[in-house]
Amino acid sequence: MAIEKARVTQNVPVAYEEALAAEALEMKKRVGAVGGDYIGVNRDKTFRLPGGEASPAVAGIVVGFVAVNQFYKGKYDPKNLAGPVCASAGQTIADLRPFEKAPEKQNGDCHTCWANQWGSDGKGKACKNQRQLALIAPDAQEDGPIMLLKVSPTGTKFWDAYALEVTAAAGALIKVVTMVTFDPKEDYPSLRFKLQGPNENWQVAFSRRAAAMERLLAEPDFVPVVVADKPKA
């Protein structure tokens, strides 16, 4: 994947570049080995945008992301969708710990938790290792909504590889426009990521990073969500 270095506007405060350089050095700790404004994923491989529209792809500026672990009790039931009973979110995978209000903490930390070990759920993990991204629209970087998009376990390795490659080549994720699509070869919706081009207004996106991280690290609502059966025709 060819990645073009983003052009830097003259007279940019040195602190901006220093902060991004420091974050780039910490990138490997955040990824695995090689209200409101949520973007949902539909089973037909389309995105459900905050306004209700469906789209086959999403282009945005990634102003932050975190690792997310979620443990659900019992088997998946589409007619009774309950939230996770244990969950965590953070910037460093090795330091993840359950949220304080998690109703059924499985362990004191995620690294040694039984549910986070391979084989704890057959061939995989009982706990879902995910990523959550904070995106803003390329044409509304100053005051557009911060939208959250969750990357399921089938897409995390692709996100991790993309994030490392872009950060190494361009200096930071906010310096590029990221296109998120679905893998056409898979029967289920699995996210993939590619560079669309440089973000010439990345200094504007920089100012949104603190708000984005606050949302990403906020403790979720652990109240179960129940979906009622649809009335018969």
Tell me, yes or no, whether 33 lies in a domain.
Answer: yes
Per-residue pLDDT, 31:
56
Tell me, yes or no, whether 89 lies in a domain.
Answer: yes
**Taking a C-beta distance cutoff of 8 angstroms, is the pair 97, 89 a contact?**
no
Q: What is the pLDDT along the chain (233 residues), one digit of tens a residue?
A: 555 444 444 555 667 777 777 777 666 556 544 445 899 999 999 999 988 899 999 999 999 999 999 999 877 666 666 789 999 999 999 999 999 999 999 999 999 999 999 999 988 999 999 999 999 999 999 999 999 999 999 999 999 999 999 999 999 999 999 999 999 999 999 999 999 999 999 999 999 999 999 999 999 878 654 444 444 54
Q: Is 59 exposed, middle or buried (0-12, 13-18, 19+ CB in 10 A)?
A: middle
Tell me, yes or no, whether 226 lies in a domain.
Answer: no
Tell me, yes or no, whether 96 lies in a domain.
Answer: yes
Tell me, yes or no, whether 115 lies in a domain.
Answer: yes
Per-residue pLDDT, 218:
92
pTM across the whole model? 0.82
Nearest to 61 by CA among 211, 233, 230, 196: 196
Per-residue pLDDT, 225:
47
Domain that holds residue 171: 14-216
Nearest to 152 by CA among 129, 127, 182: 129
Tell me, yes or no, whether 212 lies in a domain.
Answer: yes
Per-residue pLDDT, 128:
95
Per-residue pLDDT, 227:
46
Tell me, yes or no, whether 229 lies in a domain.
Answer: no
Tell me, yes or no, whether 2 lies in a domain.
Answer: no
The number of folded domains in the chain is 1
Per-residue pLDDT, 21:
72
